[in-house]
Structure 1
Amino acid sequence: MNPIVPAVDHPIEDVQAKTDKRQIAINKVGIKDIRHPVRVSDRSGGEQHTVASFNMYVDLPHHFKGTHMSRFVEILNQHEHEITVRSFREMLREMSHRLQAESGHIEMGFPYFVTKQAPISKVQSLMDYQVTFLGEIKEDKPQITVKVVVPVTSLCPCSKQISDYGAHNQRSHVTVAVRIEGFIWLEDIIDLVEEEASCEIYGLLKRPDEKYVTERAYDNPKFVEDMVRDVAARLNQDDRISAYRVESENFESIHNHSAYAMIEREKQLST
């Protein structure tokens, strides 16, 4: 039996499109923290099926009462296919056009997994990294920033220097946000950070691996200041990146506080 659909005798009023008399424009209006399945390409040639959390906003001119919230969800549903930086740019353009906005913002955060091999035993395990795509469009010109949180090990140079034996170390989070001009793999950013740490972190280690990572960190001590400077030096050499922000937070093992450092730069790229 088919459901009874009531007849509509007259068009339903579009309340959002009414004129607002307060003459106050809104910088960002939209939807926040909506989860949606996505597929993300990885450097190995495969793709990862994951769930991302989205924030989607547009500006609203002073004469409109509201925006059309359902259109944000419609745009998400049309982009269930593989998410790349290119398709992310297309989503930004589509959102600003459909909502007749001069500017728009999309934030997409998701866990990203990399298969890593232990240094000695070669046993494999997964490491997860928190990734965020940040997109902004103004005057139909999209700009994409990719942010990755990379956990690493840091060992204190001062502790090593003044102690007769041993040195304190800790897990650190290095957060790199890069504005990209060309294509870049997420793994490229992760590799860069891990190569500049006292030692990288693994999901699974055997005893010979534990010996290796302990001695590797001891031979490669880094202050939080060293960490951000070394990563920044590498980013300065990469022409795919036009701007960056590098943060390092050491969750100190001998203090009840964290050590923190940050470098932020706009690069002058050659044309």
Structure 2
Amino acid sequence: MKSHESHAIPDVQNANDSRQLAINKVGIKSIRHPIRVSDKSGGVQHTIATFSMYVGLPHNFKGTHMSRFIEILNGNEREISVESIEPMLREMVKRLEAETGVIEMSFPYFINKTAPVSGVQSLMDYEVTFVAEMREGGEYVFEMKVVVPVTSLCPCSKKISEYGAHNQRSHVTVTAQTNDFLWIEELVQLVESQASCELYGLLKRTDEKFVTERAYENPKFVEDMVRDVAGLLNAEKRIDRFVVESENFESIHNHSAYALIERDKRRDA
């Protein structure tokens, strides 16, 4: 039997590296953890988020301590809240002796929606991502990304057809860098207000008639969609920078139509 005498265990990650190449992001990806999110109605949603956590690694360090990311994630709360992201990010950067860091969390978010005619209620799910970033000099930046499914109806199809027009489901994705609190519901409603028609989890026949006619009366190209949403994002003072994308999953083609507008309002001011 070998002796189990106490001795120092080498810390390989802290060894020097001579290649003179800093790493922009190093860390862990795709780890799931419970979170809680407050909704605009005053309730709290308990869900599971997929986290990714990174720091910038200076050129002279061989590696980072991957286990510390897990310790930080588990050391905050059993259920991480949105309010704890910034303190968690600052702790991560400090403990890993980094100047920059990023925490991303993606999760499903549910909004209770009321059908337009019957008034029947049902839940709609939306894909949400929060990105908290610590930049050089200690600047804290927060981004919210929401994927909003909507209906789009083709203006060209309506114009050239004797009756009917093709429509499809579309995904409108908004990534917004905010300077003040913004509800997820506010961003979702902003997008849905500009679609040919919004989607619902449950519709009765009277509702189905309404949404079909609503879309027909409100045709939108993918270009119209991003421009109309961008116009509202431009006017929202709580948003400093945004990217709006629209992808139409075409019903008469085997490809998607796509458009994107990006704007940094602080730079353009």
Provide the TM-score with structure 1 as the length reference: 0.93
Following the alignment from structure 1 to structure 2, what is the Cα–Cα distance between the partners of residues 8 and 62? Answer: 35
Q: Residue type of the partner of 1:167?
A: A
Is 1:216 matched with 2:201? no
- Residues 199-253 of structure 1 show CA distances to partners (whole Å, capped at 9, x for unaligned) of 0000111111100100110111111111001100001111100000000000111
Matches within 5 A, 1:160-175: 160-175=158-173
Is 1:17 matched with 2:14? yes
Q: Is the 8 A contact 1:93 1:142 kept in 2?
A: no
How far off its partner does 1:95 sit? 1.1
Q: Is the 8 A contact 1:108 1:134 kept in 2?
A: yes
How far off its partner does 1:148 sit? 0.2
Identity %: 66
Q: Secondary structure at the match of 2:76?
A: coil
How far off its partner does 1:8 sit? 6.2
Match of 1:112 in 2: 109
How far off its partner does 1:9 sit? 1.7
Is 1:45 matched with 2:45? no
Match of 2:179 in 1: 181
Q: Unaligned regions of 5+ residues in structure 2, if any?
A: none
- Candidates 67, 71, 80, aligned match of 1:70: 67
How far off its partner does 1:46 sit? 1.1
Q: Is the 8 A contact 1:239 1:269 kept in 2?
A: no
Q: Secondary structure at the match of 2:123?
A: strand
Match of 2:204 in 1: 206
Match of 1:3 in 2: none
Following the alignment from structure 1 to structure 2, what is the Cα–Cα distance between the partners of residues 46 and 93? Answer: 28
Following the alignment from structure 2 to structure 1, what is the Cα–Cα distance between the partners of residues 138 and 266? Answer: 23
Provide the TM-score with structure 2 as the length reference: 0.94
Q: Is the 8 A contact 1:123 1:205 kept in 2?
A: yes
Is 1:228 matched with 2:226? yes
Q: Residue type of the partner of 2:17?
A: D
Following the alignment from structure 2 to structure 1, what is the Cα–Cα distance between the partners of residues 24 and 265? Answer: 27
Following the alignment from structure 1 to structure 2, what is the Cα–Cα distance between the partners of residues 251 and 28? Answer: 33
Q: Is the 8 A contact 1:243 1:267 kept in 2?
A: yes
- Between 135-144 and 29-38, report the one with greater CA deviation: 135-144
Match of 1:33 in 2: 30
How far off its partner does 1:268 sit? 3.1
Q: Is the 8 A contact 2:34 2:80 kept in 1?
A: no
How far off its partner does 1:269 sit? 8.7
Q: Residue type of the partner of 1:260?
A: Y
Match of 1:261 in 2: 259
Q: Unaligned regions of 5+ residues in structure 1, if any?
A: 1-5
Match of 1:142 in 2: 140
Count of aligned pairs between the two proteins: 265
- Residues 74-121 of structure 1 show CA distances to partners (whole Å, capped at 9, x for unaligned) of 11113334522x422222211111111111111111111111111111
Q: Residue type of the partner of 2:153?
A: L
Q: Residue type of the partner of 2:16?
A: T
Q: Secondary structure at the match of 2:131?
A: strand
Q: Residue type of the partner of 1:217?
A: A
Following the alignment from structure 1 to structure 2, what is the Cα–Cα distance between the partners of residues 216 and 163? Answer: 18
Is 1:101 matched with 2:98? yes
Change (3 A) 1:56 1:219: same
